[in-house]
Amino acid sequence: MKKQYKLMVAAFATVPFLMVLGNSMLIPEFPKIKSSLNISQFQVGLMITLFSASAGLAIPILGYLSDRYGRKKIIIPSLITYGIGGVISGLAAAMLKDKGYYIILAGRIVQGIGAAGTYPIVIALVGDIFQSNERSSALGTIEAANGLGKVMSPLLGAAVALISWYAIFFSYAILTIPITLAIFFIIKEPEGNTKEQKLKDYINEIKKIFSEKGASLFFSLLAGITVLFLLFGVLSHISDILESKYHIKGLKKGLLISLPILLMSTSSYLSGLYLKKQGKNFKKVMAIGLLIDCISLAILPFLDGLTLYLVLLAFLGVGNGIVLPALNTLVTSAAGSGQRGGITSIYGSVRFLGVAAGPPIFSLLNEISKTVMFLTASAIALIVSILAYLLIKEEILLSKGTDKG
């Protein structure tokens, strides 16, 4: 049974790893893409924007469908769709060169729709299969795989781009094949895991969950937005600082940026193991992680040395990593299997929102001053930490779905 558990968790972990490559592998190759397609910075940025936007819009729909028809029936076609989107973009780039830009964008939209049916639905299926403490450990490992994908993607992108920049699109399709086969053959979905109901009734069930668990669920989702908002806002700022102030570019820059993400991945895994052993203290763990973020951000504006800067960034990664497994467990446990896909899909959309909001808001705050930017972020982390500790009632969120599916 222990071997089967490890095998299933490993299969699940490949899905978020693949999904995060969808944007992160392309970003380091933007200059080459701009030159090859003869497009502007705004146009190349649309490759990221349209992927994320289509995923964000499709997530709630696919969440409903996964509750009605089954998780694997959504995850597997979504993985295939993700791969097909990569092929569309890759063929357009290879065959049409600079005339294929809009078809590349169409492929990215297809790929984003495919991504929508992967990670959020996998979280729901983990909640269906694993109970109580095992659920926390599995979600910690999966969150670590998500972080590992963020760490490795710049290096993988650079390696694949040695063939050609558009080979990255084909690599998505190639990676999809073994991952799809692993989900198909290794993962066994629980029987009776679907609930046929009209969309109106389904929405009413989701509303009922929010009415019963509203404050606890709302502040859990707020914590989800906050940690990703902070992480991606800081990383976007650091990327600019490393190049403009410290003149660090290329692979070395990518490795330094990956440091907080690597530590986030490691602390996610360890936090999941701790929660598996304890089976409680979820909101306390979340509050501690956000407090670490708060302290790190409060110190950052008063530092000049690169080494100290990186140490504080590392602590930020640790804080985020501590929060996420506890957060994932509470959200997936808030609903029974009949509505879990819908709840985790809302959570998935919220995460996309946090990622999207971080860079522009940090940029706007930085126009006032670096001190204002970091202290505002620190204050947000502190406020959300206090609210999470005081207002999340973990026994309410864990009362349905932990032992009943």
Go through the domains of the chain in sequence order and give each one's CATH number.
2-397 (1.20.1250.20)
pLDDT confidence band for 166 (50 / 70 / 90): very high
pLDDT confidence band for 195 (50 / 70 / 90): low
**For residues 375 and 370, what is the distance between their CA atoms, to the nearest angstrom?**
9
pLDDT confidence band for 391 (50 / 70 / 90): very high
Q: Output phi, psi for 115, to 5 deg.
A: -60, -35
Read off the pLDDT of each residue in 264-270 and give the average, rounded to a whole number. Answer: 85
**For residues 395 and 377, what is the distance between their CA atoms, to the nearest angstrom?**
29
pLDDT confidence band for 280 (50 / 70 / 90): confident
More confident residue, 78 or 312: 78
Residue 309 in this model has a pLDDT that exceeds 70: yes
Dihedral in degrees, nearest 10, Cα atoms 100, 103, 109, 112: -50
Give the lowest-confidence range in 75-79, 100-104, 339-343. 339-343
Give the lowest-confidence range in 178-182, 191-195, 346-350. 191-195
Tokens 């590992």, residue? 148
* Cβ neighbours around 106 below 10 Å, total: 16
pLDDT confidence band for 53 (50 / 70 / 90): confident
What percentage of the chain exceeds 70 in pLDDT?
A: 93
More confident residue, 62 or 159: 62
Task: Give pLDDT, residue 193.
Answer: 63
Task: Give pLDDT, residue 132.
Answer: 65
Read off the pLDDT of each residue in 186-194 and give the average, rounded to a whole number. Answer: 79
pLDDT digits over 231-243, tens only? 878 877 776 677 6
pTM summary value: 0.75
